[in-house]
Amino acid sequence: MSAPTIETTTETDSPVKHSRVSERVTVNLSDKSSLALSRLVNLTGDTKTEIINKALQVYELIQGAQNNGGEVWIKEGPKADLSRVRFY
């Protein structure tokens, strides 16, 4: 079941969906994940909640592609090679 959403528009009139709080969870983060979360807060200015929500959406996208036989690739810089993104 998906979370209820509110649809708003930006200056470009493209729809942006914001989820309402539909579930509260408590998680235990590994040291590596806790450090990544702190770095992302500093890098983006997003809240921890926003970052975790975005991370779950990206994970779902990648997992869905893999489950359908697709692949997700990332290029980490202009001169970098493409690397396949995988979750095991």
Lowest mean pLDDT among 2-16, 31-45, 70-84: 2-16
**Residue 10 confidence (pLDDT) above 70:** no
How many angstroms separate the CA atoms of 23 and 3, rounded? 9
What type of residue sits at position 9?
A: T
CB-CB contact of 44 with 51 (8 Å) = yes
Look up the pTM and report it: 0.68
**Helix ranges, the chain (H):** 31-44, 48-67
User: Residue range 50-70: average pLDDT?
Assistant: 93
Percent of the chain having pLDDT more than 70? 77
| Structure confidence at residue 6 (pLDDT) | 43
